[in-house]
């Protein structure tokens, strides 16, 4: 799986650690992209 340079830069700019009880913004962005790719592949 490949990602655009812009996505990788945005991902790198997000904090890797989460606040108490939440997922990190970096993880949320990555999971969102994975779900988007899964939706596109299924259609």
pLDDT of amino acid 1? 64
Alpha-helical (H) ranges within 1-43 are 5-13, 25-42
The pLDDT of residue 16 is 80
Number of domains in the chain: 1
Q: What domain range is 30 assigned to?
A: 5-40
pTM over 0.85: no
d(CA 14, CA 24): 8
């Amino acid at each position: 799986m490949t990602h655009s340079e812009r996505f990788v830069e945005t991902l790198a700019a997000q904090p890797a650690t989460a606040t108490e009880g939440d997922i990190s913004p970096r993880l949320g962005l990555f999971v969102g992209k994975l779900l988007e790719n899964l939706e596109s592949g299924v259609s």
